Amino acid sequence: MKQFSLTAAAVRLAFAAGLTAFAIGVHAQTPTPTPTPQASPTQTVAAVAPANPADVATMDAIVASLYDVISGPPGARNWDRFRSLFVPGARLIPTGARPTGEVGSRVLTPDEYVQRSSPRLEKDGFFEREISRRLEKFGSIAHIFSTYESRHKADDVKPFARGINSIQLMNDGKRWWIVTVFWQAEDEKNPLPAEYLRSRN
């Protein structure tokens, strides 16, 4: 982002493993008439913390910053840094199977993600890293399929979760912004395909 990355039993935590201890609800999305992302009432332009230029200078840098800022041993995270990666109006969307079997998703603002995920991440510790990447880019927009592994400790031999973060990015001419992170965890019915475990392109 299992409760930030998900799995079938409760759409559990990871980030993508850090998100889902809460029940998943489906939110309809309505296309906007303008290509410019609009700020939501809970996240205005003024509310976005200034980014470290090194965090947002390249696609590699912003994706690495996303994983880095949610990862660490028990203790506080730099949530202002986390918020600074996202364009106003950005969304984080965990997706997975409900206990009843159908698939659902929940649409969150960065602030809502912080509110829901920070207690668990900061209490238990959480480490997530990218192990593979598929990239598509055109003009100022890019889409990354980022395969992740999630661990409770950095030196855990085996991850407790794996999955894919679908990350949409935009460059405004000055920096990269995260527009959407849409993810799903691997489960028995949906193991990660080999093409999403190869080295990055």
Tens-place pLDDT, residues 88-121: 999 999 999 888 889 999 999 999 999 999 999 9
Residue 109 falls inside a structural domain:
yes
pLDDT in tens, 113-165: 999 999 999 999 999 999 999 999 999 999 999 999 999 999 999 999 999 99
DSSP letter string, 126-171: BEEEEEEEEEEEETTEEEEEEEEEEESSTT-SS-SEEEEEEEEEEE
- Return d(Cα 126, Cα 101) in angstroms, integer: 28
Tokens 């395969």, residue located: 147
pLDDT at 200: 65
Residue 134 falls inside a structural domain:
yes
Residue 136 falls inside a structural domain:
yes
- Domain of residue 157 covers 50-196
What does the mean pLDDT of the chain come to?
Answer: 82
Residue 34 falls inside a structural domain:
no
Residue 167 falls inside a structural domain:
yes
Residues 83 and 114 sit within 8 Å (Cβ to Cβ): yes
Residue 18 falls inside a structural domain:
no
Residue 26 falls inside a structural domain:
no
Domain count across the chain: 1
Residue 45 falls inside a structural domain:
no
CATH number of the structural domain spanning residue 59 = 3.10.450.50
pLDDT at 154: 94
Residue 47 pLDDT class (50, 70, 90 cuts): low
